[in-house]
Homo-oligomer: A and B are copies of this chain.
Amino acid sequence: MQKQKMSGYLDPFLELCKKFDLKITPQRCAIYKRLMQAKNHPTADQMFRVVKREFPNISFDTVNRTLMTFAEIGLVDVIPTEGGPRRFDPDLDKHHHFHCIHCGEIVDFTNEEFDNLGIPEHILEDFTVYSKRVVLNGVCPKCRKKKGFKDRNNAKQNKNT
């Protein structure tokens, strides 16, 4: 009966599995379920810890491999990061990223102007484009407030005062 109650939100997942000839396993279902609830671009390890709570026997590899599989079939996005562990983005709606070069945090934001950007013709001729995103780099509010924060554009401010 659990299965029937859950079938609703699992539908798009089941469909996609069928489409790509992926077997429907309890592990994959659990990972999908938690993924849809996830906020803030979880890493494979974070997902592992969450899923492990209701699926104690699951291995990290399964979670990691499953997430990669999900990425391949377009169920999640893999977020480019600057060196740290891979991050997955379950939010497939249009949104953009602000990346803090200080703490590494990635903050989502939405913006219609960015959404409506056209993709240049000469790109479309040669490339198949799946997604488009504006990425801002800088310093987030939290880091800006930190004592001793050195603004890149204001180096040696102390010396010049």
Interface set of A (CB-CB < 8 Å, partner B): 19-21, 71-74, 77-83, 86, 98-99, 101, 107, 109, 111, 113-114, 117-120, 123, 126-141, 144, 151-152, 155-156
Task: Tell me which of B20, B82, B129, B140 contacts A136 (CB under 8 A).
Answer: B129
Q: Taking the full assembly, how many copies of this chain does it contain?
A: 2
Q: Would you give the shortest CB distance from A128 to chain B, in whole angstroms?
A: 4
> Smallest CB-CB separation from A81: which chain B residue?
B80
A128→B113 contact, CB < 8 A: no
Q: List 10 A-B contacts (CB under 8 A).
A: A19-B156, A79-B80, A80-B80, A80-B81, A80-B82, A98-B127, A117-B134, A127-B139, A128-B151, A132-B135
Task: Tell me which of B19, B86, B118 contacts A155 (CB under 8 A).
Answer: B19
A138-B129 contact in complex given A78-B83, A113-B118, A114-B117, C-beta closer than 8 Å: yes
A130→B113 contact, CB < 8 A: no
Extra A-B contacts (11), CB below 8 Å, given A82-B86, A128-B138, A134-B134: A73-B155, A83-B86, A98-B127, A101-B130, A117-B117, A126-B141, A129-B137, A130-B138, A130-B152, A133-B134, A133-B137
